[in-house]
A and B are shown apart, each in its own frame.
Chain A
Amino acid sequence: MINENLIPLSKAVINCKYKIVDNPNQKYFELGLYNGSEINVFKTNDRNLVIAVGASRYILPQKVAKDIMVMKVE
């Protein structure tokens, strides 16, 4: 079943809160982007995003963000 509310992080809208549903990348998972963590996108350009996860702020590559599935938190 495909959940319609799921979008890749790269498509996330700035300043909305999302919840990570599936992050297949261990390296980024270990950085705190675990499934269930809440994430906020501050800035994007065509190569990177600036995100907030918990107390951490990261520059994240778009390529990685494409694989991370998130869901909007109302």
Chain B
Amino acid sequence: MNVAKKNKIIALTGNPNSGKTTLFNALTGTNQRIGNWPGVTVEKKTGFLNTVKSISNQQVEIVDLPGIYSLTSYSIDEEIARSFIINETPDLIINIVDVTNLERNLYLTTQLLQLRKPMIVCLNMMDLAEKMGTKIDLKLFEGFLGCPVVPISALKKAGIEEIKHHIENVELPDCLIDTKNKSCYVSDVKIPYDEFIVKEIDALIPDINGIAIKLSLDPFWFALKMLENDPFVIKLVNDFTELIPNRQTRDILLEKAEQAINRLHRHTKMQVGILIADGRYSYIKGICREILKKQQTDKITISDKIDKVLLHPFVGIPFFMIVIYLKFMFSITLSGPFIDFIDIFFGGLFIDGFSVLLTNINLPEWLIIFLADGIGGGITTVMTFIPPIFFIFLVLSFLEESGYMARVAFIMDKFMHWLGLSGKSIIPMVVGFGCTVPAIMATRTLENKRDRLMTIMLVPFISCGAKIPVYVMFAMLFFPEKAGLVIFLLYLTGFFLAIITGQIIKRLAFKGEPSEFVMELPAYHLPTFNGVFLHTWQRLKGFISRAGKTILIVIILLTMINAVPIRTNPYTGENDTILTYVGKAITPVFIPMGIEKDNWQATVSLVVGLFAKEAIVGSFEALYITEIDTFDGDWSISEVYVEAKDTFLEDMGVALQSIIYPFKSIDDLAEEYENDMLINQKRQFKNIHQVIAYLLFILIYAPCVAAIAVAYKEAGRKLATVQLVYLTILAWIVATIYYNIAVFTALSIIWFCIAGIAFAGLLVMFDKIKIDISSEIKPNSIAFPTEKNMEE
């Protein structure tokens, strides 16, 4: 069958943290997430080669894959990479090898070579290797591997052209010769395995030749995998009825393999898998001896010295706490003065200045309110998020790039174990400070399904970046000077509830022990200014443009919807719009937590917040807007600037002080609310406890649709539903209990009882649900080639 020219497909594969995504970004010009810890990439990502020359009118598709140490997979992310490499037929495999850890990285290489697919090996991190004085004989190396070897530095974008040359050169199926070097892309290297193994393989090959060729797999490799007793290959033989329709034939084949395994075991007294791995490592050691002009020694490195201190039991946890505290201080407290500056200066410009301008050109008042307060206010609000989000991303980038993330797994393991999880689960949680979606995805690296699902349950308790705009807006509206403190307390409440939830679900729904984990500790890198700031800037840009769009769209939509009455309320005579109607219908549910009966706007905002948390901000801007005065008086930009600057300086002093004494000003909180009573009442929150209860609800209730969708995809419908129900009801319980303790009345007792019953209901739910936590890396999770794509 002659098919039209397809895209060329190039797969990037290699050990975790070897720089695959960095190379992917360099080849495609994209900005996929990178970080200095193993397991950053957890799904297949595709991009197109950005090249000036178009390669014979053919698009070149680059596929970035999760990292793997070998072609045996233990977790979901590894399975994605392995199944792509084995089941798909990329036109070229680029194997990225971290040259600073040659021996271990070459283990995967020896496996890949035996697939006999077109391949090149990229020696990445050459910049580091040069600093360490590593010298490699490349010609000799190519000879040993039987395929081109390209030294590169993905970070410094060195060697990229040569990779592009190979991408251009490789052709299937006729031209597998690298024209420049006269070397072959399909290696014919023979790894000197134990003679017993070779003998058994030779005996097996006639039986599996047909099936292997049909699957475009190398018969030798297939036989080797059968001897390793690789469950995937066994399953392949067992289940693939199209290839061997006769059950008996299949059984005979499997039996032959089993007998071979037993014979090998008897002869060598070793497990066959180990014997094969041993063969590969012997070969690798031989290569390294020959090609390294200066041997890589295993001396104590600077990273080891740093770890000596940071992993010390008495230093580790306090240091981590300080890191989290600093993260928080940077993102909230220190950004406070910047927020105020932006609020005053740009508010003066876009709201007041704009409204003066619009008044001067005699626009009708409703339009001025909409444009100046609505749109102008919306823009100002979006701008006020820049400082906290910038600082959060900055600290996260620093954590991710430095290599500290992987250490946290060791430091926090004991605590996480008490929580019912393994230390590795802390990584998704730290990622969760940025966004819940990648955090849930990051659980793919956890090998044990129980740990993975339980981590997904707990991740939403970490307030994501999108909740910060909401917290900041509330703080700005209701307690501008104590913003940092309130937000800090919200975060702490989140941690506290995560702990309680962990303790509950490990006893009810997720019985059993967290699994053991192995985790590689990458060398520390001092993050470069460029790296960190570029990274931060890109994430910030993405966030602000997304949040900006969401918020402005919400403002415009809600304002429009709210202008169209659907009926006249028979009791009050007021015009109801769809929003007031729905809002008023749901609001009674929130009365126990202090939402006033006529504060329908608060309810609508919660519903809007389901779509994206930052949309709550847009909703507030739109729904409470008509009740805010427009600016009248003299307006001058220099006055606005001076006011903004003075406030900034004054706030900075307060912020610096509160970094050292975070709880100092807790008493003044209520007082400050009283001062701004007049404005606040317009927003229908009658006292500070109503505001705090409302914030608590926002902290805990249902995650946004994007997060619900990933939870659904990653953990299944049942768990996603349980999570949604649990979080929302828990939010109501916590907010209600808080509010009723704060403003205790006779009615409170009833609410306490109802909250208690609701909580008991949640416990029963956890006790009753049956969550399947059996291992999920089952052979049948591989996408086997179907008849259809085999024909192609």
* A residues whose Cβ falls under 8 Å from a Cβ of B: 23-24, 26-32, 34-35, 38, 40, 42-43, 45-48, 50, 52-61, 63-64
Give the interface SS of chain B, mostly helix, strand, loop or mixed: helix
CB-contacts of B393-447 with A (<8 A)? 406, 409-410, 413-414, 417, 423
* B277 contacts chain A at the CB level, 8 A cutoff: yes
A26-B273, A27-B72, A48-B423 given as contacts; is B413 within 8 A of A32 (CB)? Answer: no
Query: Do A57 and B423 have beta carbons less than 8 Å apart?
Result: no
The distance in angstroms between the C-alpha atoms of A38 and B610, with both chains bound, is 54
25 pairs across A/B with beta carbons < 8 Å? Answer: A27-B518, A29-B273, A29-B274, A32-B103, A35-B278, A42-B304, A43-B307, A47-B417, A50-B307, A50-B311, A52-B298, A53-B298, A54-B296, A55-B100, A55-B104, A56-B104, A57-B303, A57-B304, A57-B523, A58-B520, A59-B517, A59-B519, A60-B518, A61-B517, A63-B516
Q: Which of B74, B273, B522 is the most central at the interface, judged by chain A CB atoms within 10 Å of its CB?
A: B273
A34-B277, A35-B278, A40-B298 given as contacts; is B104 within 8 A of A58 (CB)? Answer: no
The distance in angstroms between the C-alpha atoms of A64 and B520, with both chains bound, is 15
Query: Do B69 and A30 have beta carbons less than 8 Å apart?
Result: yes
> B571 to nearest A CB, angstroms?
64
A54-B103, A55-B100, A55-B104 given as contacts; is B274 within 8 A of A26 (CB)? Answer: yes
Query: Do B521 and A55 have beta carbons less than 8 Å apart?
Result: no
In the complex, which residues of chain A have a beta carbon less than 8 angstroms from the beta carbon of B520? Answer: 31, 56-58
Residue of A nearest to B71 (CB): A30
Query: Do A28 and B518 have beta carbons less than 8 Å apart?
Result: yes
In the complex, which residues of chain B have a beta carbon less than 8 angstroms from the beta carbon of A35? Answer: 278
**A-B pairs under 8 A by CB, number:** 105
In the complex, which residues of chain A have a beta carbon less than 8 angstroms from the beta carbon of B311? Answer: 42-43, 50
> A45 to nearest B CB, angstroms?
7
* B657 contacts chain A at the CB level, 8 A cutoff: no
The distance in angstroms between the C-alpha atoms of A42 and B304, with both chains bound, is 8
In the complex, which residues of chain A have a beta carbon less than 8 angstroms from the beta carbon of B341? Answer: none
A47-B417, A52-B304, A56-B520 given as contacts; is B410 within 8 A of A27 (CB)? Answer: no
Query: Do B281 and A45 have beta carbons less than 8 Å apart?
Result: no
In the complex, which residues of chain B have a beta carbon less than 8 angstroms from the beta carbon of A34? Answer: 277-278, 281
The distance in angstroms between the C-alpha atoms of A8 and B406, with both chains bound, is 26
Query: Do A31 and B518 have beta carbons less than 8 Å apart?
Result: yes
* B778 contacts chain A at the CB level, 8 A cutoff: no
In the complex, which residues of chain A have a beta carbon less than 8 angstroms from the beta carbon of B70? Answer: 30
Residue of A nearest to B107 (CB): A30
The distance in angstroms between the C-alpha atoms of A45 and B271, with both chains bound, is 30
Interface residues on chain B, number (Cβ under 8 Å): 41
- Interchain CB contact (< 8 A) of A50 among B273, B417, B521: B521
The distance in angstroms between the C-alpha atoms of A48 and B424, with both chains bound, is 12
> B305 to nearest A CB, angstroms?
10
Apart from A45-B413, A57-B304, what are 18 other A-B pairs with CB-CB below 8 Å?
A: A27-B74, A29-B274, A30-B70, A30-B107, A30-B277, A31-B104, A32-B103, A32-B281, A42-B311, A43-B311, A47-B417, A53-B298, A54-B104, A57-B303, A59-B423, A59-B517, A61-B517, A61-B518
What 5 A-B pairs have minimum CB-CB distances, sorted nearest first?
A: A61-B516, A55-B101, A57-B521, A26-B273, A32-B104
> B143 to nearest A CB, angstroms?
23
* B570 contacts chain A at the CB level, 8 A cutoff: no
> B136 to nearest A CB, angstroms?
14
Residue of B nearest to A32 (CB): B104
The distance in angstroms between the C-alpha atoms of A27 and B520, with both chains bound, is 13
* B308 contacts chain A at the CB level, 8 A cutoff: yes
Query: Do B410 and A50 have beta carbons less than 8 Å apart?
Result: yes
* B245 contacts chain A at the CB level, 8 A cutoff: no
In the complex, which residues of chain B have a beta carbon less than 8 angstroms from the beta carbon of A30? Answer: 69-70, 72, 107, 277
Query: Do A55 and B518 have beta carbons less than 8 Å apart?
Result: no
The distance in angstroms between the C-alpha atoms of A57 and B69, with both chains bound, is 14
> A20 to nearest B CB, angstroms?
11
- Interchain CB contact (< 8 A) of B72 among A26, A46, A60: A26
Query: Do A26 and B271 have beta carbons less than 8 Å apart?
Result: yes
In the complex, which residues of chain A have a beta carbon less than 8 angstroms from the beta carbon of B173? Answer: none
The distance in angstroms between the C-alpha atoms of A70 and B69, with both chains bound, is 23
A31-B69, A38-B298, A43-B307 given as contacts; is B516 within 8 A of A55 (CB)? Answer: no
> B422 to nearest A CB, angstroms?
9
In the complex, which residues of chain B have a beta carbon less than 8 angstroms from the beta carbon of A54? Answer: 101, 103-104, 296, 298
Query: Do A47 and B413 have beta carbons less than 8 Å apart?
Result: yes
The distance in angstroms between the C-alpha atoms of A55 and B96, with both chains bound, is 17
Residue of B nearest to A56 (CB): B104
The distance in angstroms between the C-alpha atoms of A45 and B313, with both chains bound, is 8
In the complex, which residues of chain A have a beta carbon less than 8 angstroms from the beta carbon of B307? Answer: 42-43, 50, 57
Residue of B nearest to A61 (CB): B516
> B530 to nearest A CB, angstroms?
26
CB-contacts of B506-527 with A (<8 A)? 516-523
Q: Which of B72, B100, B298, B313 is the most central at the interface, judged by chain A CB atoms within 10 Å of its CB?
A: B298
Query: Do B277 and A26 have beta carbons less than 8 Å apart?
Result: yes
The distance in angstroms between the C-alpha atoms of A26 and B406, with both chains bound, is 23
